[in-house]
Chains A and B, each alone.
Chain A
Amino acid sequence: MIRTELKRGTAELAILSVLEQQPLHGYEISRHIEQDSGGALRFTLAALYPLLYRMENRGWVRGEWETSDNGRRRRCYKLLPRGRKMLAPLRAEWADLFRAMRRVAKVNHA
């Protein structure tokens, strides 16, 4: 069964996937997603932070303030075990969606 919250699901999976590799602050998260998707996915500030706060409330990620060498403070997000556990079902959900869309839209891999 594919969830109806398609848009939010995409964003959650993208954020969890980049945080699986390393802890990042908000701006880095958006840059990594953009780079890893070849520019196809872009997260604006307005889309990113409400979602990060929700994911933090659910215990998927945790943000901690860090001060860099040049004295600038950044809130760095780290993937928590509960968030790591969410990755597998989210990936399975998206695999289901792609399979379904391939059947419906007759789309083949390039």
Chain B
Amino acid sequence: MLDWLAYVNHRLSRLPLSEAEALQVMEELAAHLEDDYLSLRAQGVSESEAVRLACAQVSSWRELRRDILSAKLEGFMQNRVSQLWIPGLVTLFSAYALLALMQFAGLRAMTSHPGEPRGIVLYLPWILSLPLIGAVGAYLSRRAQATGWRVYFAASLPALALGVFFLLILPWSFVVDPQVPLHTKGTALAALMVSWVILPGFALCLGVALQSLRKMSVPRS
């Protein structure tokens, strides 16, 4: 009997999916062809004719490959929106809306070196509320079947977005402020990273971890 898995593997030739997903697709198609072949054989069809008829189910492997990739890509795009961007934007908006509200209500930042660029700025009540926002982001992301890094990405988007922003404006500072020494810029960047990326990012990820614990403690119905 034909090795159907090897046959499909040869015909589909390196599906650009993850290794596990590509193997699953090939295994599923091979099983289908094998079932068809066995059914034909059970009806008394000769082996060579049964192989020919089973193989005839796919007139163009190139088209099948394209259709499978298109279907998988559609899913990938849908998943990316529901697992990453929607929860990420919810955490981003919530985190900074809350900070704006706190500032409006008169919250003042704690600063390690007031007035200096190396000063670390800390809005303590805001930082303490971030685990809750991170947990909400993690919940939304997991509800869309996300796992692993996707959940952490969605929950910590407020910190990641600012981190990327700071790294992008650093080269720009060499253009607009060429007279400021490099070490001053480096210190200021480090302070910004700690104040707005590392500490908030840690608080948001703490929320993800707490949400994971809660998820594990809720018994499945």
Please report A residues at the B interface, Cβ cutoff 8 Å: 25-27, 30-31, 44-46, 48-51, 53-54, 56-58, 63, 65, 72-75
Contacts and interface: CB of A to CB of B under 8 A. Distances in A.
A73 B64 contact: no
Given A51-B71, A53-B71, A46 B57 contact: yes
Nearest to B36: A27
Interface string B105-141: 0000000000000000000000000000000000000
Nearest to B145: A59
Interface stretch (B27-35, B176-184, B209-217): B27-35
- Bin chain B's interface residue count: 20 to 34
B58 interface: yes
Contacts of A44: 57-58
A73 B27 contact: yes
A100 B72 CA distance: 35
B33 A45 contact: yes
A26 B32 contact: yes
B9 to A, nearest CB: 15
B24 to A, nearest CB: 7
Interface of B: 24-25, 27-29, 31-33, 35-36, 39, 57-60, 63-64, 67-68, 70-72, 74-75, 78-79
16 contacts: A27-B31, A30-B32, A44-B58, A45-B32, A46-B67, A49-B28, A49-B32, A50-B64, A50-B68, A50-B70, A53-B68, A53-B71, A54-B71, A57-B71, A57-B74, A73-B27
A20 B71 CA distance: 22
B152 to A, nearest CB: 23
Given A49-B32, A49-B68, 9 more contacts: A45-B32, A46-B57, A46-B64, A48-B32, A49-B28, A50-B68, A53-B72, A58-B78, A73-B27
Contacts of B72: 53, 57
Q: Which of A25, A53, A72 has the most CB of B within 10 A?
A: A53
Nearest to A30: B32
Contact of A50 (B32, B39, B67): B67
Contacts of A72: 31
A30 B79 CA distance: 28
Contact of A53 (B32, B58, B75, B79): B75
Contacts of A48: 32
B32 A57 contact: no
Given A27-B36, A75-B24, A45 B29 contact: yes
Contact of B31 (A31, A57, A73): A73
A57 B24 CA distance: 15
Contacts of A63: 28
A46 B57 CA distance: 7
Nearest to A45: B57
Nearest to A48: B32
Contacts of B78: 57-58
Given A44-B57, A46-B59, A27 B71 contact: no
B77 to A, nearest CB: 9
A91 B26 CA distance: 33
